[in-house]
Amino acid sequence: MRYFAVAYLALTCCAASSTCQQTGQPQAQTAPTPGTTQKPGDSSSTLPSAPAPQQNTPPKPPPQPKRILGIMPNYRAVSAGVKAPPPTPRVLFKVATENSFDYSAFVFVGVTSLLAEGDNAHSQLGKGVGGYWAYYWRGYLDKTDGNYMVDFAFPTLLHEDERYYAKGTGSIWNRGVYAATRVVITPHDNGRNGFNGAEILGRGVSQAISLTYYPSATQTLGGYSTKFAYAIGRDALTNVFREFWPDISTHLLHKKS
């Protein structure tokens, strides 16, 4: 019986020693009580301090690129989390000019004019090369005066910031609604969000100007309302595309913005 107890004690000590070696954890040490002096040779003085708890910070949203798909200019976009100062009239004029005279503007108008001519959207403009040119210069004028009205003239008069400030985080639904509603809500120079008068008034004026050079069949209240609604809806969809493009580029196309 005595040998069994000795053997059991020896096995227990071996098991405890093996466990300590596997886990690599030092044996617990009792902290010295207040008022006691710790000896220089005390092993508790060599214990490492506990590591500081790590905080899991969410990943930073990918930045907005200068161009989408390498073609579409994205000069009006501001990356998520960036607080940009209010734009000066000079900056606004530069953005409107870049959007109007970028090579992609001529390509975009060329494609939409080809589709309009093929669909015979305005029969009075004709078909063929002559008809295509009639669609082209009108389409380019639509785009250019719209850019200068929405990006430069009315933001300067109303002290509004027409740049798109990306949200970058949240659910797809919340980000989509946020992006689409920027056509009616925008930052003002005082730092507060308010009604986007530059978008609504700018598109309204530019579409009214377009009635002077389109066929008389479109110079009606219904024709004007259709063109105005199309312009606002197109800008809303463009904002949604801007919002999600960095994620599409990074996660699906495996490209860095």
Q: Per-residue confidence at 219, pLDDT binned at 50, 70, 90?
A: confident
CA dist 244 and 255 (Å) reads 14
pLDDT at residue number 194: 96
What percentage of the chain reaches a pLDDT higher than 70?
76
Q: Is the pLDDT confidence value at 17 over 90?
A: no
Phi-psi category of residue 28: left, alpha or beta, with phi > 0 → left and psi -120 to 50 → alpha? beta
Dump the DSSP string for 38-64: PPTT-GGGGPPPPPPPPP-PPPPPPPP
Say which range, 15-29, 180-194, 235-249, has the weakest mean pLDDT.
15-29
**Do 162 and 200 touch, CB atoms closer than 8 A?**
no
Mean pLDDT of 243-248: 94
CB neighbourhood size of 178 (10 A): 17
List pLDDT tens digits, range 87-113. 999 999 999 999 999 999 999 999 999
Q: Is the pLDDT confidence value at 34 over 90?
A: no
Higher pLDDT, 23 or 51: 51
Mean pLDDT of 116-123: 91
pLDDT at residue number 193: 95
Structure tokens at 215: 């066929």
pLDDT at residue number 48: 58
> In 3-state terms, what secondary structure has residue 152?
helix
Residue 72 dihedral angles phi and psi, to the nearest 5°: -70, 120
pLDDT at residue number 51: 62
**Paired strand residues for 248:** none
Q: Is the pLDDT confidence value at 233 over 90?
A: yes
Q: Is the pLDDT confidence value at 151 over 90?
A: yes
List pLDDT tens digits, range 162-193. 999 999 999 999 999 999 999 999 999 998 99
Q: Is the pLDDT confidence value at 237 over 90?
A: yes
pLDDT at residue number 255: 59
pLDDT at residue number 69: 86
- CA-based nearest residue to 183, from 168, 171, 166, 200: 200
Mean pLDDT of 189-210: 95
List pLDDT tens digits, range 35-78. 444 555 544 445 556 666 566 677 788 899 999 988 889 989 99
Q: What's the pTM value of the predicted model, to 2 decimals?
A: 0.73
